[in-house]
Structure 1
Amino acid sequence: MDGKKTEQAAALSARAFTIPGTESRLMYSRTGKREYQIFVSKPSEDPPPAGYPVIYLLDANSVFGTMAEAIRVQSRRPEKTGVIPAVIVGIGYQTEAPFSPARHCDFTLPLPDSELPSRPGGTPWPEQGGAEDFLTFIEEEVKPEIERDYQIDTSRQTIFGHSLGGLFVLQVLFTKPDAFQTYIAGSPSIHWNKRFIHKESRQFGDRVSREKLNVNVMLAAGELEKSHKSRINDHAKELSEQLSSLAGYGVRTQFHEFEGEGHISVLPVLISRALRFALHPAGPNL
C-alpha cells in the first residue's frame, strides 16, 4: 500500500468515539450569566411507568464518561448489580480540561477573603460565591428542559458532587432539602465554609425534628485523604454521624472511606458505590 493510501486508511479508521446513548447541548444560565455544556446519558431500555430515575452530576467534564459507562454496563443486570437504568445529566463547562475555574464560583457561597483557605503558591483563588445562582439554574432551567425531553421520575432525583462539588451538595441539602431525594457528597470541602456547614447542619436537625423529610445522604472520602491538612475525612465522618442521629426523622445516611484511594483516584470507585446507593431496584441502598 502506497503512502497516500495508508493516510486515507488511517483517516477512515481514526474516528471520534462517542459513548452510546449520550448527547450534549449548550445551555445559558439567565441568572448566573454563564454558558454550560450539558451532557446527557439515556438508557436503551424503555422507561418504567413512573419514568427514569435521574442523577444530576457536577464537574461533568471530568466524570461524566466514567458514570455513563458504569451505569450502561451495570444496569443491564439490576438483579445482580443493584443498579437500575437511569438518566444522567452532567453539568459541565465549555472546556477540554477536566475542571473549569468557574466551578469555584458555582459551588461556593459568598465568603470573606479572610476566611478562605490559603491557596498553594499564594496566588488568589478564582471568583467565589455563585452557588445560589447555580442552584437556580439547575432548578429553573436544567430540570424543566430535561423533564420536557425525557421521561423522568421526579421522586427519584439524585445530585452527585465531589470536592467543592461535594460542598455544594451539602449546601443544597441543608438549605433546600426537597430539591432532590438523594445527596451524594464525595470528599466534600467542608473546610472551605466550615462555619456555614456547622450552623446549617444544626438548623437542619431542628427543622427535621419538626418536619419529617425523606432524604438519603452518602458522604465518602479516600483513605489517603486522611493526611490532608483540611481534614476532609474527619469532617465528613463527623457530619455523617450527626446526620445518622436523624434517621428517625427520615434522613438516612451512609459514610464510606475507600481503602488506598486519594482525592482524585477515589472518583471511579465512589461513582460505582454511588450508583448502587442511588439506583437500587428497591430504592436507595442503605
Structure 2
Amino acid sequence: MKNINQSFTLPNTEYWDMRSTAANRDYRIFAFKPEEAPPSGGYPVIYLLDGNALFATMVDAVRAQSRVQKKTGVCPAVVIGIGYPGDALFDPARYYDYTMPTQPDQIIPGPEGKPWPELGGVSEFIDFIEQDLKPEVERQFPIDGGRQAVLGHSLGGLFVLQALFDQPHLFQNYIAGSPSIHWNKSYMAEAEQRFVSRMGQGAGQADSSSRPQKLSLLITAGELEQSHPSRMVENASGLADRLAKLAEQGSELRVEYCEFAGESHISVLPALISRAVRFALVQAANG
C-alpha cells in the first residue's frame, strides 16, 4: 500500500492574517515569491482579489510561464492574494469590500429574492490595500513600485474598475474580468466620466510632468456570458470601446478587450488568469 501524504503546499508560498486599520476587518493574505533573484528595481507584483479561490491558479500560471521567459516574455513576479480567514472559496465579506454605497432602489435583486450580504465598503477596502497591505508587502519583498497590477473577477472586476476610476495611482496595470458593471450603472457612469476627464486633461501635453501616469487596462468576458441577464459582455466591451478612444486622443491609457470563446462566467477563470499574467508581466519585462 502506498504511503499517502495528507497535505500539499505550493512552493515558495506563505500566508498571514491582517486586520484593516480603517474598518477593523479581517483578511488572509497569500504570498508567492519567485525563486529567481529580483531585478535591481525589485519584482513586479500582481495583487489578486478572491485569493482563497484563485491564488493557486495564479501562482502556477506565473511559475509555468516565467520559467521559459525567452519564449513567453513573462518575467518572475510576486503574487499577493487577498482573501479571508476560513476555507470558503468566495467569502460573503467580498460583497462589502467590492461594492460602492448604493441606494436601496438601485441595488439589483438578490438571488432567489434573498437580501444581499452587507454592501458598500469599497473605499475602506481601497484604504486597506493602500495604507496597510502594500506597505507590509513592500517590507517583506523587494517590489518595483512602478510595475504593480491588480486583478479581479465579477464583483472583483467591478472593484478593479472603481479603483482605476477613483484611485488610478494605486497600480499601473488593471485587469477586470467579467466586471459587474450592472451592479450600479449610474454610479459607474459618473466615475467613468470623472476618470475620462482626468486622463483627457493631460492628453497631448508636451510636459510629461503634467500628464497622468501611464496606465494599462485589460477587460475580459466569456463568450457564453452573452446570455447573462446583466448584459455582461455588452457592458464590458462597450466600456473597453469607450476608454480605448482616450488612447486615440493621446492619453496615457492602453486598453485591451478579450473575449474567451466557449467560456462562461466561472469556467473563464483559468483563461482569464493566463491572459492576465501575460498582460501584466510581458509589459513589465519590456519596461
Question: Is the CA contact (8 Å cut-off) linking 2:74 and 2:285 kept in structure 1?
Answer: no
Q: Does 1:166 align with 2:168?
A: no
Note the alpha carbon deviations across 1:203-239, whole angstroms, 9 max, x for none: 2111111133310000000000010110111011010
Note the alpha carbon deviations across 1:49-87, whole angstroms, 9 max, x for none: 000000010000110000001111110111211211000
Output the amino acid matched with 1:226: Q
Provide the secondary structure at the position in 2 that maps to 1:141.
helix
Give structure 1 regions of 4+ aligned residues with deviation exceeding 2 angstroms.
Answer: 281-285
Note the alpha carbon deviations across 1:91-150, whole angstroms, 9 max, x for none: 000121210000000001100121111112111000000010000000000000000110
Which residue does the alignment assign to 1:58? Answer: 49
Which residue does the alignment assign to 1:223? Answer: 223
Q: 1:110 aligns with which of 87, 101, 113?
A: 101
Q: 1: CA distance between counterparts of 2:273 and 2:284?
A: 19
Which residue does the alignment assign to 2:208? Answer: none
CA offset at residue 15 of structure 1?
3.0
Provide the secondary structure at the position in 1 that maps to 2:169.
helix
Which residue does the alignment assign to 2:205? Answer: none
Which residue does the alignment assign to 1:21? Answer: 12
Sequence identity (%): 51
Which residue does the alignment assign to 1:265? Answer: 267
Q: 1: CA distance between counterparts of 2:22 and 2:7?
A: 34
Output the amino acid matched with 2:112: G
Question: Is the CA contact (8 Å cut-off) linking 1:277 and 1:284 kept in structure 2?
Answer: no
Question: Is the CA contact (8 Å cut-off) linking 1:109 and 1:131 kept in structure 2?
Answer: yes
TM-score of the two chains, using structure 2 as the length reference: 0.93
Which residue does the alignment assign to 1:122? Answer: 113
Q: 1:143 aligns with which of 110, 134, 142?
A: 134
CA offset at residue 281 of structure 1?
5.6
Question: Is the CA contact (8 Å cut-off) linking 2:44 and 2:284 kept in structure 1?
Answer: no
Provide the secondary structure at the position in 2 that maps to 1:279.
helix
Q: 1:68 aligns with which of 59, 74, 79?
A: 59
Q: 2: CA distance between counterparts of 1:97 and 1:71?
A: 24
Q: CA RMSD in A?
A: 1.4
Q: Does 1:250 align with 2:241?
A: no
Out of 80-89 and 202-211, give the one that drifted further.
Answer: 202-211
Which residue does the alignment assign to 1:3? Answer: none
Distance 1:117 1:70, change over 3 A: same
Q: 2: CA distance between counterparts of 1:32 and 1:56?
A: 20
CA offset at residue 282 of structure 1?
5.7
TM-score of the two chains, using structure 1 as the length reference: 0.94
Q: 1:132 aligns with which of 123, 126, 132?
A: 123
Provide the secondary structure at the position in 1 that maps to 2:282.
coil
Q: 2: CA distance between counterparts of 1:81 and 1:235?
A: 31
Question: Is the CA contact (8 Å cut-off) linking 1:84 and 1:281 kept in structure 2?
Answer: no
Which residue does the alignment assign to 1:83? Answer: 74
Q: 2: CA distance between counterparts of 1:26 and 1:203?
A: 35
Out of 24-33 and 151-160, give the one that drifted further.
Answer: 24-33
Output the amino acid matched with 1:123: K
Q: 1:278 aligns with which of 272, 280, 285?
A: 280
- Between the two proteins, the alignment pairs up a number of residues equal to 276
Q: 2: CA distance between counterparts of 1:15 and 1:112?
A: 48
Output the amino acid matched with 2:64: V
Q: 2: CA distance between counterparts of 1:165 and 1:112?
A: 20
Ranges in structure 2 where 5+ consecutive residues have no aligned partner:
203-210
CA offset at residue 284 of structure 1?
7.3
CA offset at residue 264 of structure 1?
0.6
Provide the secondary structure at the position in 1 that maps to 2:117.
coil
Output the amino acid matched with 1:245: K
Q: 2: CA distance between counterparts of 1:110 and 1:173?
A: 17
Question: Is the CA contact (8 Å cut-off) linking 1:216 and 1:284 kept in structure 2?
Answer: no
Q: 1: CA distance between counterparts of 2:255 and 2:286?
A: 10
Point out the structure with max Rg over C-alpha.
1
